[in-house]
Amino acid sequence: MQKLLKYWLVIFSLFFLLFSCKKDKNGPQWDVDVLAPILKTSLTLDQLITDSLLSTNPDTSVSLVFNNNLFNINTDTIFEIPDTTITDTYSPNFSINATPGFQFYANNDETTISASNGAQLKYAIIESGSIKLEIISTIQEKVVVQYDIPSASIGGQILSITETIPAANGSQNASFNKIYDISGYELNLTGTSGIDFNTIITNASAFIDPNGQTTTISPADNIIFKITLMDIVPYYARGYFGSNTINIGPSSTNFNFLNHIISGTIDLEQVSLNLDFENGIGVDLQTVVNNLSTENTNQSTAASLNHSIIGSTINLNRATETGSIPEVNYAIYPTIAINTNNSNVDQLLEILPNKLSYDMTLTVNPLGNTSNNNDFIYKKHVIKANLDATIPLSFVANQLTLVDTFDITVEEDKNGNRVNYGTLNFFVDNGFPLNAYLSFKLLNENQVEIKTFNSLENIPSAPLNASLKAVGKESKQLQLTLSEQDMEAFYNSKSIVLQVSFSTPQQPQFIKIYDYYSIDLKMVGDFNFRVSAK
Amino acid sequence: MKKLTLFILVLSCFEVFGQYTLEFFADTNQSFVSTDLNFQFGSNAINNKFFKSYYLGEYIDEELKATVKDKLKANNYFGGDLNINLLLKLKADTLFNRTDLYYLFGMEQHQHTNGSFSEDAFNLTFYGNKMYAGKDADISGLELYSFTYQAINFGLMKETRKNGVLAQEGFLFSIIKGQQNTSFLLTKGNLFTDEFGQFIDLDAQYFYNSSDTAQTGLSAFNGWGIATDLFTVIPFRKNDVLKVSIEDIGFINWNKNSIEVTGDTTYHFEGVEITNLFNLNDSLLNQLSKDSIVDNLNATNKKRKYAMSLPTAISLSYYKNLKFNNYLLASIRYQINTSYRPFFALGYRRYLSDNIAFQTVANYGGYEKLGVGFGFSVHTNNGYYLNLQTNHLEAFFIPQNSFGINGVINLAKTF
């Protein structure tokens, strides 16, 4: 019976496993026709243009605003303290029997450093920098070296270096080198007389190690001292910074503000630029704007500014020291207004530029040493030129084409549910006074175009009242038919390039954009959909 | 006697449900072990061809869908079971000082599904909502109910002879391990699709229960329960017999990791609201997540244990001896707590020899419509028995025009 039971359990188990275990098989599939809304959105200006670029005027119309820093002139441009090496060599004229502790060398020296642009520095505070001390000795005993730089001090203490140089060994010289950080040190560059400039005082002395042995120093022996000022960056400097001319440009900078616009024309009703100069340095300045222009390298167009400022001399007074924080009172030149009334500035933007070019000259101390060596500079206070632009969104546009690319992933779900084909219906309520035309391209993962859809119809402008203000919205239904191949392209796409061309109605009148304008979009899918049940 | 044995064997083949389908030994000294597999599926709308394609994971084309659509009524239902049983009937030498008692031991696996749906629910599922543009789709009454469990059985049976004919009565008690349960009921459901697809309105009141969805395999122990079967075979004169049984009186308690979701909501959908059209992917995906959809449906979602009654089945079968190895059978069956309709069967059996018999049966009801069945029974002289039966022979020949399918395979050995 046991054998029988066992046999029957096997049969039962076979039945059980065969019919009850969940089979990992595909589920049934069928196609359905689905009509359903997919998404809805309302596009306002702040979604199309970065908030920081928009400004709402009192009448609720909108202006584009942006700020561009043309240049900053700081310490490096006015002058630099180059790396400077001071070399001192000791060699006796006759042999000396040097006992331990015997001072065999002492020398006080003044050295002039060469600041660039003819700067005559009296005083400086070091923000960062170092001193490198190198010593080579042939003396056959340890030598203690003391190197003082009375010109450098911190907290009232002068820079003093004491080091023990190892003994030379026969013909093998002894060498020593070390780097000392002098950040925070004050440099008095007036020398011993107190009226010089760019002058460093050094005191060097050397004596036999008190714990050493008596040694003979012969005329063949020598000690070479090298002290190098390295990477000196002043936080503050005073003196006379020379009279020289600095060329700013000709130079170009990328102008990305309009980089989404690829074609078309625009006529701006008004453009307003404010050019500001601020002088945070204690020097007199004279600047000349030789050229300000824009360029569209894609269309090979360029426009140069015609304004009274071009070629004119602008005199900037020197800043003054406050003795407190902030350290300086900036000298500010009155704002230079550049607008469509006094220039062709609108043309600079209407070519839809991608480059901004400028060429300026800056003369430091055009009248010489009028400050009596009291020019000053703080590293953090510079000479600045800023360009503030305000562009009211009032314009005439003709096929002005914007393009943007954004990522999208359309995937079958893991069970195999997918859209076979169908139609995308777009219900558009346009509250903008713009006629628009949409098209888009699908790109694969290698950014290669796999499908272009140009079939969407024109979206008409919102109706306008007598003041050319949009009142209400214009409704339009657009249809995009998607074949099976089109859907396959969607599934293979990784990004969409959306292109919108728009034109203003009632040309040649300028159309103003108000902040409450919006466009409502609803996308409805009318699809044949493959259901994969599992 | 052997004919009677075979008769009872054949008789038992009409019992497509139940764990004790073998009461075919007239000799009270005989014990047996048997195993059987029985399955059935039926519907008053879904034909066998459609069911086969669905079950086998095939593609359901428009032509196949139309075969069901043409047969849809206001209320449509379906149901099915798959049972596998192992039973040992062992004679007790003496038990309670009696010698006419038998022990019953067994184990079983039971899978059950049933449901009902409206015509609109079928259309929405298999055709989509586009055909309802500008109209309402009434999906109220959508119901789906399924469970799977394993059980061990034990019971007692008494066999006596009355008028020379074997009489039986007994019970079978089951301890159940609940594997999986799902039940869904949409008491109120209306879906309106805008003519242009610009919005969809859903008005629904629903209840959903499920056992722990993290544990669904054979080893899942998501609930426990008990059930009892009662049965009796009453012989009459002239070898007529009445058989009565009540099966699956019981319940299953599903554990505290079970899910209950209820909702009564009116949901208006106009598309996913996109705040940043230029970051479409994240916006769409975030709002189309399952959790966000559930949130939007105002569902109350909680974990709690709950109890479920088993679908109890009541069967009556009457056997009439027509002499000369011919027999007539009439059977009625009903199952509560499901969409099962009263089931009626009328059959004819004939012995071809002492070892072979066949039968035919016409039946109607349950989950399906009219069916014609055929059964075949054979046993060897050393006690091996094989039964094969179906109540729906037409399912194999005209699947598109038949609405039920079932089969029983039974193996037994006496000792």
pLDDT exceeds cutoff 80 at A435: yes
Q: Does A40 touch chain B (CB under 8 A)?
A: yes
pLDDT recorded at residue A41 = 86
What the block records as the tokens of A29 is 């599939």
Closest among A365, A268, A281 to A331, alpha carbons compared? A281
Nearest by CB: B273 against A20, A40, A406: A40
Q: Are A251 and A289 in contact (CB under 8 A)?
A: no
Average pLDDT over residues A92-97: 91
Closest among A496, A490, A501, A486 to A438, alpha carbons compared? A501
pLDDT recorded at residue A382 = 87
Q: pLDDT tens digits, residue range B323-372?
A: 777 889 899 999 988 888 999 999 998 888 878 888 899 999 999 888 99
Distance between CA atoms of residues B348 and B327, nearest Å: 6
Chain B: residue whose CA lies nearest to A38:
B271
Please give the backbone phi and psi of residue A201, each rounded to the nearest 5 degrees, phi first. -95, 130
CB pair distance less than 8 Å for B273 and A41: yes
What the block records as the tokens of B85 is 């049983």
Distance between CA atoms of residues B234 and B240, nearest Å: 9
Q: Does A407 touch chain B (CB under 8 A)?
A: yes
Total length of chain A: 534
Q: Are A107 and A205 in contact (CB under 8 A)?
A: yes
Residue B280 half-sphere exposure toward CB, CA atoms < 13 A = 18
Question: What distance, in Å, lies between the first and last C-alpha atoms of chain B?
Answer: 17
Chain B: residue whose CA lies nearest to A531:
B126
ipTM of the complex: 0.83
Please give the backbone phi and psi of residue A531, each rounded to the nearest 5 degrees, phi first. -95, 130
Residue that is written with structure tokens 């119901």 in the block: B143
What the block records as the tokens of B247 is 């099966």
Nearest by CB: B127 against A12, A25, A32: A32
Q: Are A245 and A363 in contact (CB under 8 A)?
A: yes
C-alpha angle A46-A49-A55 in degrees, rounded to nearest 5? 65
Amino acid making up residue A470? A
Nearest by CB: B35 against A11, A33, A47: A11
User: Which of A254-263, B146-155, B353-362 is predicted least confidently?
Assistant: A254-263
Q: Does A43 touch chain B (CB under 8 A)?
A: yes
Q: pLDDT tens digits, residue range A193-230?
A: 999 999 999 999 999 999 999 999 999 999 999 999 99
Q: pLDDT tens digits, residue range A146-174?
A: 999 999 999 999 999 999 999 999 889 99
CB pair distance less than 8 Å for A37 and B200: yes
Distance between CA atoms of residues A413 and A419, nearest Å: 11
Between the alpha carbon of residue A262 and those of residues A47, A115, A402, A454, B146, the distances in Å are: 20, 49, 6, 17, 61
pLDDT recorded at residue B19 = 38
Q: pLDDT tens digits, residue range B233-256?
A: 888 877 788 889 999 999 999 999
pLDDT recorded at residue B10 = 37
pLDDT recorded at residue B283 = 52
Nearest by CB: B84 against A12, A25, A524: A12
Q: For testing the chain B interface, which of A2, A6, A9, A41 should be mutated: the one with the most B CBs within 10 Å? A: A41
Phi-psi region of A311 (alpha: psi -120 to 50; beta: other; left: phi over 0): left
pLDDT recorded at residue A149 = 93
Q: Does A160 touch chain B (CB under 8 A)?
A: no
Distance between CA atoms of residues B112 and B110, nearest Å: 7
pLDDT, averaged across chain A: 89
Q: pLDDT tens digits, residue range A473-532?
A: 999 999 989 999 988 888 888 888 888 888 999 889 999 999 999 989 898 999 999 999
Distance between CA atoms of residues A176 and A136, nearest Å: 6
pLDDT exceeds cutoff 70 at B277: no
Q: For residue B288, give how far its alpha carbon lies from the nearest alpha carbon of chain A (Å).
A: 10
Distance between CA atoms of residues B80 and A227, nearest Å: 99
Inter-axis angle of helices B62-69 and B48-55, nearest 10:
130
Residue that is written with structure tokens 């943007």 in the block: A404
pLDDT exceeds cutoff 60 at A441: yes
Q: Are B26 and B163 in contact (CB under 8 A)?
A: no
Chain B, residues 382-401, CB within 8 A of chain A, namely none
Amino acid making up residue A505? P
What the block records as the tokens of A7 is 């046999």
pLDDT exceeds cutoff 60 at B287: no
Q: pLDDT tens digits, residue range B153-173?
A: 999 998 887 766 778 889 999
Between the alpha carbon of residue B67 and those of residues B47, B71, B116, B344, the distances in Å are: 8, 7, 18, 26
pLDDT recorded at residue A26 = 76
Sign of CA dihedral A501, A507, A512, A518: negative
Cis omega (within 30 of 0) for bond into A505: no
Q: For residue A69, give how far its alpha carbon lies from the nearest alpha carbon of chain B (Å).
A: 29
Taking contacts as CB-CB distances below 8 angstroms, the residues of chain B near A35 are 128-130, 133, 193, 197
Question: What distance, in Å, lies between the first and last C-alpha atoms of chain A?
Answer: 44
CB pair distance less than 8 Å for B411 and A22: no
pLDDT exceeds cutoff 70 at A40: yes
Taking contacts as CB-CB distances below 8 angstroms, the residues of chain B near A497 are none
User: Which of A238-242, B38-42, B132-136, B317-321 is predicted least confidently?
Assistant: B317-321
Average pLDDT over residues A442-452: 88
User: Which of A4-13, A158-167, B238-247, B310-319 is predicted least confidently?
Assistant: A4-13
Average pLDDT over residues B313-328: 86
DSSP class of B359 = E
Residue B227 burial (10 A CB sphere; 0-12, 13-18, 19+): buried
Percent of chain A with pLDDT over 70: 96
Distance between CA atoms of residues A54 and A56, nearest Å: 7
Average pLDDT over residues A238-261: 84
| Confidence category of residue A340, pLDDT binned at 50, 70, 90 | very high
| Confidence category of residue A309, pLDDT binned at 50, 70, 90 | very high
Q: Does A34 touch chain B (CB under 8 A)?
A: yes
Distance between CA atoms of residues B167 and B50, nearest Å: 44
pLDDT exceeds cutoff 80 at A412: no
Distance between CA atoms of residues A63 and A391, nearest Å: 5
- What count of other Cβ atoms lies within 10 Å of the Cβ of residue A21? 11
Amino acid making up residue A234? P
Q: For residue A353, give how far its alpha carbon lies from the nearest alpha carbon of chain B (Å).
A: 24
Q: Are B311 and B261 in contact (CB under 8 A)?
A: no
CB pair distance less than 8 Å for A35 and B197: yes
Chain A, residues 1-30, CB within 8 A of chain B, namely 1, 4-5, 8-9, 11-12, 15-16, 19-22, 25-30
Q: For testing the chain A interface, which of B55, B280, B388 should be mutated: the one with the most A CBs within 10 Å? A: B280
pLDDT recorded at residue B295 = 64
Cis omega (within 30 of 0) for bond into A508: yes
CA B327 to chain centre: 28
Q: Are B335 and B365 in contact (CB under 8 A)?
A: no
3-state DSSP call for residue A492?
Answer: helix
Q: pLDDT tens digits, residue range B220-233?
A: 999 999 999 999 98
Taking contacts as CB-CB distances below 8 angstroms, the residues of chain A near B152 are none
Distance between CA atoms of residues A378 and A76, nearest Å: 11
Residue that is written with structure tokens 């007539």 in the block: B328
Taking contacts as CB-CB distances below 8 angstroms, the residues of chain B near A9 are 86
CB pair distance less than 8 Å for A40 and B271: yes
pLDDT recorded at residue A53 = 84
Q: Does A523 touch chain B (CB under 8 A)?
A: yes
Chain A: residue whose CA lies nearest to B284:
A39
Please give the backbone phi and psi of residue A227, each rounded to the nearest 5 degrees, phi first. -120, 125
Q: For residue A19, give how far its alpha carbon lies from the nearest alpha carbon of chain B (Å).
A: 8
- What count of other Cβ atoms lies within 10 Å of the Cβ of residue B309? 13
Nearest by CB: A20 against B33, B109, B409: B109
Q: For residue A67, give how far its alpha carbon lies from the nearest alpha carbon of chain B (Å).
A: 25
Distance between CA atoms of residues B161 and B229, nearest Å: 22
Kindly report the pTM of this predicted structure. Answer: 0.73
pLDDT exceeds cutoff 60 at B3: no
Chain A, residues 225-244, CB within 8 A of chain B, namely none
Nearest by CB: A43 against B130, B131, B277: B277
Closest among A119, A130, A196, A199 to A159, alpha carbons compared? A130
pLDDT recorded at residue A408 = 77
pLDDT recorded at residue B33 = 87
What the block records as the tokens of B131 is 């055909």
Inter-axis angle of helices B62-69 and B119-127, nearest 10:
180
Percent of chain A with pLDDT over 90: 58
Higher confidence at residue A534 or residue A25?
A: A534
pLDDT exceeds cutoff 50 at A376: yes
Distance between CA atoms of residues A122 and A375, nearest Å: 10
Q: Does B288 touch chain A (CB under 8 A)?
A: no
Sign of CA dihedral A363, A369, A371, A375: positive
Q: pLDDT tens digits, residue range B91-116?
A: 887 777 777 888 899 999 999 999 99
Chain B: residue whose CA lies nearest to A47:
B276
pLDDT exceeds cutoff 80 at B209: yes
Residue that is written with structure tokens 């290669």 in the block: A448
